[in-house]
Amino acid sequence: MTALPADGRRRVVIENVRPRVDGGRFPAKREVGGTLDVQADAFGDGHDEIRVVLRWAGPGAEGAWDETAMEPLGNDLWQASFALEALGRYRYTVVGWVDRLGTWHHDLAKRVAAGQDVTIDLEIGRGLLKDAADRAEAAGNRADARRLRDNHEITGELVELGLRYPDREHESSYEHVLEVVVDPVRARFSAWYEMFPRSASPDPSRHGTLRDVIDRLPYVAGMGFDVLYLPPIHPIGRQFRKGPNNVTSSKPGDPGVPWAIGGPDGGHMSIHPQLGTFDDFAALVKAASGHGIQVALDIAFQASPDHPWVKEHPSWFRQRPDGTVQYAENPPKRYQDIYPFDFESEDWPGLWQALHDVFIFWLERGVTIFRVDNPHTKALPFWEWCIGRVKSAHPEALFLSEAFTRPKVMYRLAKLGFSQSYTYFTWRTDKAELADYLRELASPPVSDFFRPNFWPNTPDILHATLQEGGLPMFITRAVMAATMTASWGMYGPAFELGERTPREAGSEEYLDSEKYQQRTWDLERPDSLAPLVTRLNRARREHPALQSNERVWFHAIGNDELLAWTKNSADRSDVVLTVVSLDPTRPQAGTLELDLERLGLPADTPFEAVDLLTDAVESWRGSSTEVELDPQVPARVLQLRRA
């Protein structure tokens, strides 16, 4: 038998509050300094007026709530927002109630307009105002209470005063208290540059150091990057050390793979001796900050056979029947130089705590951004616990997920706490799939929890489009990555120098990859794409339209090899159009059709197209424009503005 509700007089229904990630199981994500726009469906039975408020509380506000009245948008849809002024977790929910005084006033106006006798109705109103007076008295507002009790003449002003003290005894609350994690702005808008410190040495015969990286900072900052990402800087194991081009045996002097972490000099909380000391690292963090750059570290939770934890905590690793430790495999690939952690270990609490402490160790040394290697190969509950715990103490911490895996797993990692994520951008190459993918990432529900970071290359990924398309395709992919999403990154100097020779045919591995050996790069090469990258990052800094993943629109252009899209600021004061050619070998032309009304541009007078890569200014008129691109100029980035 169905039980009676706790209070059957709660007549307002509140549902479909959003943003809401998986029914409220996970928090939404936003950035400090912005606002959270909340919508809800709210309605009651009959024709009574209702009032709805957004209830919210900031980080640390235990039990204390602020409220903001929600505005009706029509069809029982309500909306309100609140400012996100601090890092951390905010809570929010929605409450509503039948507004007896508002209903009475609304009905009275209709009765008066119909010429009806409202004597009794006025008596009812006076009673409602006296009830409001009692609530004003209880709230300590005696002057308002006196005015409400002296209600012989009911005016609109008096009713407005009474509405400030509503009867909320039977208010309804949404069934969930939702959360939003508020991160630094760099969680949404960032430009990453990856480099290997050991290759920072200008002398090919000398191993690069952290001090060499400091010398490289003006170059990185000059291109406009604000995150410098370093692969693991820890000691590298010697057992089963890989040689150049991933050969399974090494010679004396081969530096090994930075992701084979650990040796006699320490593990995840140590620095490779050839890179320098903790004083050198502190100097790098400080110098980078002076250039407006944050240092991001690679966190790879795996160990070389020489890692101290292998002997100190053997239960953290899976033992094989022959007494050896299970090394990493992705059959048929084998990684004998790496031991994965066993997240089914009997001592899983000890393992979890030790891995958590790695983040805390580096946070205490000034690192607040972490690129996490292969998080999808670690227990998913661990990430929710670890990231949640880290961010409760360090809400400024950001985590980039390097998980090129199934979509649901990638999205789950984002829900569990990762601030940004690598994506499938590298493998989206034709017009339709690029447009469809970006629409998916830029729209709720995905956009409420998943922040994409587009990379045209990584040390692991040299896609066939770059191998075969040459510098024109490098330009196209850089322009797409930098303008499609608010965060992008590139592995350099391989990218700006157009490194595109694979280890073998059909491989996405680089020939002579820095993963296995030290490289020396000629940063002064005349064919370097550094000037283009510099212009792209400058355009991103100067144009709010490019600093958000919202409001991306694809526009018709009569050629399957051309792709055109705009992004605009919320007030449409800044509109940026990007057009790229997907063909690196031949000229391509097409008629571009712009939705001028959506962009806030005039349909019958000229407007300007300012080329953000060359500073050239053109006068355009009307929604149709002919566009031609060729391998020398395979992309254009244009600000569209009123003349």
Active site residues: 373, 402
Distance CA 456, CA 429 (A): 11
Alpha carbons 612 and 578: distance in angstroms, whole number? 10
Where do we find the tokens 């919508």?
39
Q: Tokens standing for 224?
A: 């406009």
286 φ, ψ (degrees, to nearest 5): -65, -45
For residue 303 the two structure tokens come to: 């160990």
Burial group, residue 265, by CB count within 10 angstroms (0-12, 13-18, 19+): middle
CA 508 to mean position of chain CA atoms = 27
3-state secondary structure 373-441: ECHHHCCHHHHHHHHHHHHHHCCCCEEEEECCCCHHHHHHHHHHCCCEECCCHHHCCCHHHHHHHHHHH
Q: 566 in helix, strand or coil?
A: strand
β-pairing verdict for 302-303 and 339-340: antiparallel
Query: How many whole angstroms separate alpha carbon 356 and alpha carbon 348?
Result: 12
Are the CB atoms for 625 and 601 separated by under 8 Å?
A: no
How far apart are the C-alpha atoms of 72 and 177, rounded to whole Å? 21
If 0-12 CB within 10 Å is exposed, 13-18 middle and 19+ buried, where does residue 26 land? buried
3-state SS class at 186? helix
Q: What angle do CA 527, 532, 537 make, to 5 degrees?
A: 150
